[in-house]
Structure 1
Amino acid sequence: MDDLIVGGNDFAALEAFKAYVCAYFKMKDMGPLKYFLGIEVARSVSRLFLCQQKYTLFIISEACLLGSKPASFPVEQNRRLALGIGVFLDDPEPYWRLVGRVIYLSVTRPDLAYLVHILSRFMQSPHINHWEAALRVIRYLKGTHGQGILLWADSDLTLAGWCDSGWAACPLTCRSLTGWLVFLSASPISKKTKKQATVPRSSAEAEYFSMAAVTCDLKWLKGLLLNLGIHHPIAIRLFCDSQYALHLAKNHVFS
């Protein structure tokens, strides 16, 4: 990769850095950031919008679904894709390419984190129902190809996390899923959906494990901000919709 983004609020230092780099490498200054590795950038004084609209339309075109009817949501409710019931695909290569492109698309689409987690689990031996689920994701993208991430410039640089879990969401291993989203003020900066390492015995325990996972991510982000010279002296807010998990976090006697 030979692309580089240089940012900062000291224009004299930026010009000096670019001159130093150009003295040792053959580089070209492309001007203000507008397009980088498939990510489109639109900016104003107070905000920065990141999207992959051109890349999304390319995915839809490659899947031959430009004329299809858009789907209002990416997956049907209670669709148990993890069971893997059905006929194997004769040629899984189109599934590999499609899911791989959706994985990169999730950089600016937090709403695809759960689907990426599910579909990428069956890269080795996908079934026909997995392929149909992937095509539904493309139909969902057809109606939402302009969505992305909005980053605010006038933020107070405080972290906050939201987490949730799906108890025994995997029917094969009975493991629960953890999902979280972290905001820096009003800007989403981290999101993930992953399978929990252990099997919780209750939904409250699964929610508590979800809180523990996002807490680790928040602590790492706080250290990253400190390395960038940004101090975070106040307590980080963590939101969870389970009162049982909140009681476990406050009083470890219950655990």
Structure 2
Amino acid sequence: MTLPEGYSKAGPCQYYKLKRSLYGLKQANRQWKHELTTQLSQRKYILDIVNDMKLNEVKHAPTPLVSDWSSYDPNSPMFHDPSQYRRLVGRLLYLDFTRLDVTYYVHLLSQFLQQPIVSQWNVVLHVVKYLKGTANYGLFYSANTDLQLQAYCDSDWAKCPHTRRSTSGYCITIGGSLVSRKSKKQHTIAKSSNEAEYRSAASTVCEIKWLVYVLKDFGVSVSQLVPLFCDNKSVITMIENPVFHERTKHIAFDCHFIRDHFKVGFIKPHYILSRQQLADVFTKPLPAYLLADLLSKIHFSSVNAS
């Protein structure tokens, strides 16, 4: 290391002061890990939406949706401008990349793009009001965590009033940070809540398999059993006991491969209390206190605004 041109040589009682860390020094390892820590936020994009919708002076909402709202209101008139509805929902879908707290609601509202009603438009605006109050929130990824996979799966049985199909929801974390999640209506009608959650668990295992392959391409080997957290003890029994077939014999064979992955030691189902089920964020409306608690467990919180 040499002095810049124009500086005289330091004397015996003089020292160089570093303003930034250099490779080769003892601080280098800490700085490298700090560089790998990142935060994902779409704050400016949210504020642009709020400004375009002229909601700057409106009070923000504590949750994305009120829990007793019904998507089908026979007394609500048709919305006068469906293209405006589609445009705003499309912008919220793009926001879904980092705002997992509105994933369920945006996917629900995107089912009514052709003929939206006024009550559905009001809910879209309600989501924007919620985003206004949480514009600084985003995903946090730390460099100081392990690479342990954990999966959470859940379903909301037959809640669609029109089709009676269930909604599957799952989220998968690595080192506690979210790497994959989904909120999607199931293709078939489940005869029971057990069947709905069993199908959700099967789709979660498919995603786990894909993530394991991706990690393998990066040179990361997943040698431990992947814990699969479910809040339904009957579903865990259905996975671990193939003889328990009276309630499952009508389920499509493609869902039963989850039993093979349990048998070979790829996954291990665990029971978890409903209030600790992270996948609830992707299957149903939640009260503000519970939503905040679950989101904090997957490192979704307020980040530094840039």
Q: Whose radius of gyration is greater, 1 or 2? A: 2
Does residue 135 of structure 2 align to residue 154 of structure 1? Answer: no
Question: In structure 2, what is the equivalent of residue 20 of structure 1?
Answer: none
Render the CA deviation track for 1:111-160: whole Å, top value 9, x for unaligned.
Answer: 11101110111111111111000000011011111001001112221211
SS of the equivalent of 2:243 reads helix
Q: Which amino acid aligns with 2:181?
A: K
Quote the residue 1:99 is aligned against: 89
Distance in 1, matches of 2:92 and 2:243, equals: 43
Secondary structure of the corresponding residue to residue 141 of structure 1:
helix
Q: Paired residue for 1:165, among 144, 155, 161?
A: 155
2:34–2:143 contact (8 Å) kept in structure 1:
no
* Cα contact 1:113–1:191 (8 A) shared by 2: no
Q: Distance in 2 between matches of 1:250 and 1:79?
A: 37
Provide the C-alpha distance between the structure 2 equivalents of 1:235 and 1:108, rounded to a whole number of angstroms: 28
Partner of 1:224: 214
- Corresponding letter in the other structure for 1:111: D
AA matched with 1:171: P
Q: Deviations over 1:168-212 (max 9, x none)?
A: 011111110011111011210111100011111111111111111
Is the CA contact (8 Å cut-off) linking 1:161 and 1:238 kept in structure 2? Answer: yes
Query: Conserved in 2, the CA contact under 8 Å of 1:166 and 1:176?
Result: yes
- CA drift at 1:224: 1.1
**Which range is displaced more, 224-233 or 54-63?**
224-233
* Aligned counterparts of 2:230 and 2:41: Cα–Cα separation in 1: 28
1:53 aligns with 2:48: no
Does 2:209 match 1:234? no
- TM-score under structure 2 length normalisation: 0.67
Q: Distance in 1 between matches of 2:243 and 2:136?
A: 48
1:87 paired with 2:77, answer yes
Equivalent residue for 2:4? Answer: none
Question: 1-side partners of 2:100 and 2:230: how far apart?
Answer: 18
| 1:243 corresponds to 2:233 | yes
CA RMSD of aligned residues (A): 1.6
CA contact (8 A) 2:50 2:56 kept: yes
1:206 counterpart letter in structure 2: A
Q: Which AA in structure 1 matches 2:42?
A: Q
What's the secondary structure of 1:161's corresponding residue?
strand
CA separation in 1, counterparts of 2:218 and 2:60?
42
Among 110, 114, 119, the residue aligned to 1:124: 114
The ranges of structure 1 where at least 4 consecutive aligned residues each deviate by more than 6 angstroms after the TM superposition are none
Shift of 1:236: 0.8
- Contact 1:167–1:176 (Cα < 8 Å) also in 2: yes
Structure 1 position 60, deviation (Å): 0.7
The answer on whether the counterparts of 1:179 and 1:194 sit within 8 Å (CA) in structure 2 is: yes
Q: Secondary structure at the match of 1:252?
A: coil
User: Is 1:95–1:126's contact at 8 Å kept on the other side of the alignment?
Assistant: yes
Indicate which of 207, 218, 221 corresponds to 2:197.
207
CA–CA distance in 1 between the matches of 2:208 and 2:216? Answer: 12
Give the match's secondary structure for 1:168.
coil
Q: How many residue pairs were aligned?
A: 213
